[in-house]
Amino acid sequence: MSIITSIDDLEKLYGTAGPASTVKESPRITPEYRRLIEAAPFCALATSGPEGLDCSPRGDKGSCVIIENDTTLLMPDRRGNNRIDSLRNVVRDPRVALMFLIPGHGNALRVNGRAVVSIDEALLTRLEMEGKRPRSVLVISIETIYFQCARAIIRAGLWDAAAHVDSSTLPTPGQILASLSDGSVGGEAYDKEWPERARTSMW
């Protein structure tokens, strides 16, 4: 296997990025980037910690984050599985990366920065959803923000209904859990109960 082991070799292989790849980067939220963030109900949150890396899906009604100001985002931590992998990482290493996706839109939006885990009472109350407060809030200080070109999304056919996979052809969460636990967790009952469990514990 031939591998690249130096930055020099890597840059020789790929050449120099054009102006459109660099001028798009900003240290703060521009009016255009604000519109993209406000339209994005989903993002992937990447963090790093002593145990390794983590990438967690985050979604919410409307935008998945609140714009506090031109250099600060607020991400409420809604109900989940309580693994808190991302939060464990942030407490020990504040570096974070976010990739926002907007259904039907070709470009992704990327943010790199640093975060803290806040349990400020006023902030938790402010970010209530359907009468339920988040357990905590990530306060993210932006270091750089830029859009990602649409090629990957176009190649994947992400928003093309004709390319969507029939969920019935894939293993269910209950089946996966049952397989990994020798049947002690999950199974048909888990899948059957999931819709009601999700309905009553979304926030």
pLDDT, tens digit, 9 for 90 and up, residues 19-57: 988 999 999 999 999 999 999 999 999 999 999 999 999
3-state helix, strand, coil in the chain (%, to 5): 35, 30, 40
pLDDT-based confidence at 126, cuts 50/70/90? Answer: very high
Using a pLDDT cut of 90, give the percent of the chain over it: 89
Provide the whole-model pTM.
0.94
Which pLDDT value is given to residue 199? Answer: 85
Nearest of 108, 195, 90 to residue 148 by alpha carbon: 108
Query: Phi-psi region for residue 40, left (φ > 0), alpha (ψ -120 to 50) or beta?
Result: beta
Which pLDDT value is given to residue 122? Answer: 97
Average pLDDT across the chain, whole number: 95
CB atoms within 10 A of CB 102: 21
Residue that has been written with the tokens 């926002």 in this structure: 100
Which pLDDT value is given to residue 37? Answer: 98
Which pLDDT value is given to residue 203? Answer: 83
6 CB-side CA count, 13 A: 3
Which pLDDT value is given to residue 86? Answer: 97
Using a pLDDT cut of 70, give the percent of the chain over it: 100
